[in-house]
Amino acid sequence: MNETLHDIQSLEKVRKILSNVPYSIDICRATMILDYLITEKDNQVKQFENQAPKDIQDLCTMIRGVK
């Protein structure tokens, strides 16, 4: 799961870089793909967290900085 969280961070960094590039159809398409990938990976993390035992859920909450 740590690898998935790392992937999300990397994808968000790429998206931030692309947001500073002048607009074009290719940049728009790339941004949409990145948004999709980020959402999919985030959903995987949420699904894992929901299925995990309570102590793991608490740990995930602490890592995300919610507590």
Rounded to two decimals, the pTM is 0.77
CA 43 to CA 46: how far, in whole Å?
5
CA 67 to CA 58: how far, in whole Å?
9
CA 47 to CA 65: how far, in whole Å?
18
Around Cβ 62, how many Cβ atoms within 10 Å? 10
Nearest to 5 by CA among 67, 18, 54, 59: 59
Question: Which of 1-5, 23-27, 28-32, 62-66 is predicted least confidently?
Answer: 62-66
Confidence category of residue 67, pLDDT binned at 50, 70, 90? very low
Query: What are the structure tokens assigned to 67, written together?
Result: 């507590």
